[in-house]
Amino acid sequence: MSLLPFCQWLSETRWSIALHESLWAYPLVESTHVWSLALFVGFTVLLDLRLLGLSMRLAPASEVVRRLRPWMIAGFCLMVVTGLLLFYAIPVRTYQSIFFRSKVTLLALAGVNVWVFQTSVWRRVAEWDRDPVPPKGARLAGAASLLLWICIIFAGRLTAYNWFDCDRQPQAAIVNWAAGCVVESE
């Protein structure tokens, strides 16, 4: 099932057009999205570094998580709200962007990584809480998270570039397939 008709409908709603064409609101939402990188991704990286045994080695891992969590939740909400608004302002082009699609996939993988971590090695945190360098499972989760978030930042930044946009034809068949472009066959 394609979400394209929904995105097309969304792009014609009043507020989407207003946000898209606004002189101040769109840049404000976008720079808030970037600012909250520092809060959410910045804290995620610090937590990953703790899991890798590369920073805050004297603080118990559970303490680091407990202290960072409220801020990470706040930062995550800010990112999601501003991110949804950015999508809402330019729905069709964003939906058909291979970079945006990569970003959503990577976000899902980051979610899976957290879930795997929380249901496995985190359950036994009491055993390694004070270890300066946590066990392999935790280090693996930290490394995966670090890598995923770097890729997410890349994919997010590249979404602004139109190299593979559907209105730039001809594109390679795989690009059109991955972006979900509707191309008239000749």
Partner 1 sequence: MSLLPIFEWCETTVVGQTIRDSLWLFPVIEALHLVAFAVLGGTVLLVNLRILGTAFASEPVARLARDTRPWQSGSLAAALASGSLLFLSEPRKLYYSGPFWVKMASLALAILFTFTVHRKLTLADEGQVGPHPRKLAALVSIALWSGVAWGGRWIGFSG
By C-beta, is 34 or 104 nearer to partner 1? 34
Minimum separation from the CB atom of position 135 to partner 1 (A): 21
Residue with smaller CB distance to partner 1, 63 or 127? 63
Closest CB to partner 1 among residues 120, 162: 162
Of 56 and 125, the one with the shorter C-beta distance to partner 1 is 56
Which residue's entry shows tokens 């699609």? 101
Distance CA 103, CA 58 (A): 34
> Shortest distance, CB of residue 71 to partner 1, whole angstroms?
6
* Whether the Cβ atoms of residue 89 and residue 20 lie closer than 8 Å to each other: yes
Q: Which residues bind partner 1 (CB under 8 A)?
A: 27, 30-31, 34-35, 37-39, 41-46, 49, 55-59, 63, 67-68, 70-71, 149-150, 153-154, 157-158, 160-161, 163
* CA distance linking residue 117 with residue 125, whole number of Å: 11
Residue 55 Cβ vs partner 1, minimum distance, rounded to whole Å? 6
Element (DSSP H or E) covering residue 43:
helix 25-51
Give me the amino acid identity at 85. L
Phi and psi at residue 76, to the nearest 5°:
-65, -45
Specify the residue, 95 or 149, whose C-beta has the smaller distance to partner 1. 149
Residues shown for the chain: 186
Can you tell me the distance from the alpha carbon of 49 to that of 29, in angstroms, rounded to the nearest whole number? 29
Other Cβ atoms closer than 10 A to 30: 16
Q: How far is the CB of 4 from partner 1 (least distance, A)?
A: 26
* Helix (H/G/I), strand (E/B), else coil: 59: coil
Please state the closest distance from residue 41 (CB atom) to partner 1, in A.
4
